[in-house]
């Protein structure tokens, strides 16, 4: 979203949250207390010590090839510190505390656990270390690569996605679309099976270890080139890239070590061996949409209208999909905007979404908070207009232009990150763990 609109959105937030600070604190206490003091806890990830030398990234085709991918921040948890005994075993990460799956690696629909109560106050696990990540508008937790969040910018150019380590904010890899696969305004991302389950061979070709079962799984990154603030675009599309298996994802003591003994893995860079693109159009009028979701099996995708109004329309496209297809979206319902005590201008706009792997939950975010819809049946898309969502969290204030949200790979946690209104790097990665007893 453009910065001049951001100024109108963000300025009222501080005043609003001060007015209700006591109420928010009381609500957090009832949910189980703040996790802010745990930001440096040892459980964040078994890969928290991994550092990266960005000089090895082959980024000729990405937005800023001279930028630094970042190194592990000083405050990253140290697996060798005095609290190491309290950290989860790298062989068996605790549920909800890892962006990417371990035991379920290789399944694009892994992590179908459900959470009843999330922490309303997120933990900042790290800040984005890559200077190229300034306009983040899409995020997806990898189910193939342990501890990895796929992140993209809101920009025009060759489609590029970054594999970011959730515990350190370091870029571990860069996935670049084939030549000619460009976008005008990427605004959302989801992980699902590849179109018609065709991605296995392409996944293996893009992976460091192509013979593993995980590398040959049909897992794809679905990206929405849907930004349309002025509602004049006629070139809207969805781009799909096979998700590669990182050779250094989750690496700790088994990779090369630096002088201090800390594991170091060079960031990887790929040009995707295959890409699918589906042009699409809305019925009737031109629409702006950023909240994007995909069925776990890749059989359909959805857009929620971005509009500062009481209701936002929900649109659906059903497959099968083939590269080069033109898809006519269908309007299937409308969702009521969620409001704060005092909702600022543009605060009703829905800016991000994700569909749970079980299809029994759907999370949506706006500029004022995050909300989860819960369903009784598998026909969630028809059920959702009549569902009143649960509030996950208001804000946070540390996300001045929040447009990205995803379920964790375990299905029982959430991750968010914000675009910076001034296009500055270093935004925080926010983790919302499940507070249910079963998830502790």
Of all residues in the chain, what percent carry a pLDDT higher than 90?
Answer: 57
Confidence band for 205, pLDDT divided at 50, 70 and 90 = low
Q: What is the pLDDT of residues 268-288, one digit of tens each?
A: 898 998 999 999 999 999 999
Q: Which domain holds residue 158?
A: 3-439
Tokens 């009381």 found at = 26
Q: What is the pLDDT of residues 221-280, one digit of tens each?
A: 999 999 999 999 999 999 999 999 887 654 432 333 333 333 445 678 989 989 999 999
Lowest mean pLDDT among 21-25, 196-200, 289-293, 349-353: 21-25
More confident residue, 169 or 2: 169
Predicted pLDDT at 76: 34
* Sequence-separated (6 or more) residues with CB below 8 Å from residue 97: 43, 44, 45, 88, 413, 431, 433
Total structural domains within the chain: 1
Residue of 363, 426, 366 whose CA lies nearest to 135: 426
Average pLDDT rounded to a whole number, residues 1-22:
40
More confident residue, 89 or 284: 284
Average pLDDT, the chain: 76
Predicted pLDDT at 268: 86
Q: What pTM does this model have?
A: 0.77
Tokens 């679905």 found at = 222
Confidence band for 352, pLDDT divided at 50, 70 and 90 = very high
On the 0-12 / 13-18 / 19+ scale of CB atoms within 10 A, 40 is middle
d(CA 55, CA 35): 35
Secondary-structure breakdown of the chain: helix, strand, coil percentages, each rounded to the nearest 5: 15, 30, 55
Average pLDDT rounded to a whole number, residues 359-376:
96
Confidence band for 202, pLDDT divided at 50, 70 and 90 = low
Predicted pLDDT at 2: 45
Average pLDDT rounded to a whole number, residues 145-149:
95
Predicted pLDDT at 150: 98
């Amino acid at each position: 979203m453009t910065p001049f609109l951001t100024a109108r959105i963000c300025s009222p937030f501080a005043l609003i949250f001060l007015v209700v600070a006591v109420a928010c604190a009381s609500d957090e206490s009832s949910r189980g207390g703040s996790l802010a003091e745990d930001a440096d806890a040892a459980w964040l990830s078994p890969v928290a010590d991994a550092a990266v030398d960005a000089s090895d990234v082959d980024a000729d085709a990405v937005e800023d090839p001279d930028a630094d991918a970042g190194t592990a921040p000083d405050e990253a948890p140290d697996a060798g510190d005095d609290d190491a005994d309290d950290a989860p075993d790298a062989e068996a990460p605790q549920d909800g505390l890892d962006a990417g799956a371990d035991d379920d690696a290789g399944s694009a629909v892994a992590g179908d656990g459900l959470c009843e109560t999330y922490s309303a106050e997120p933990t900042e696990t790290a800040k984005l270390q890559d200077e190229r990540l300034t306009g983040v508008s899409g995020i997806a937790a990898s189910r193939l690569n342990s501890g990895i969040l796929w992140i993209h910018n809101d920009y025009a150019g060759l489609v590029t996605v970054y594999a970011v380590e959730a515990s350190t904010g370091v870029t571990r890899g860069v996935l670049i679309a084939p030549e000619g696969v460009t976008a005008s305004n990427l605004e959302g991302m989801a992980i699902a099976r590849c179109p018609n389950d065709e991605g296995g061979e392409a996944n293996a070709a893009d992976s460091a270890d192509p013979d593993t079962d995980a590398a040959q799984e049909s897992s794809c990154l679905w990206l929405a080139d849907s930004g349309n603030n002025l509602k004049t675009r006629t070139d809207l599309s969805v781009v799909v890239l096979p998700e590669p298996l990182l050779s250094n994802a989750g690496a700790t003591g088994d990779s090369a070590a630096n002088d201090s003994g800390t594991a170091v893995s060079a960031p990887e860079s790929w040009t995707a061996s295959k890409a699918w693109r589906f042009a699409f159009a809305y019925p009737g009028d031109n629409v702006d949409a950023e909240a994007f979701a995909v069925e776990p099996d890749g059989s359909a995708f959805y857009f929620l209208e971005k509009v500062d109004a009481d209701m936002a329309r929900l649109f659906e496209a059903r497959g099968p999909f083939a590269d080069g297809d033109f898809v006519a979206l269908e309007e299937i319902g409308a969702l009521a905007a969620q409001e704060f005590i005092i909702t600022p201008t543009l605060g009703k706009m829905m800016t991000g979404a994700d569909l749970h792997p079980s299809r029994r939950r759907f999370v949506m975010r706006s500029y004022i908070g995050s909300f989860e819809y819960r369903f009784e049946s598998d026909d969630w898309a028809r059920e959702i207009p009549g569902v009143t969502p649960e509030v996950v969290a208001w804000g946070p204030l540390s996300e001045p232009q929040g447009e990205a949200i995803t379920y964790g790979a375990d299905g029982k946690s959430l991750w968010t990150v914000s675009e910076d209104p001034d296009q500055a790097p270093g935004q925080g990665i926010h983790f919302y763990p499940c507070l249910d007893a079963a998830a502790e």
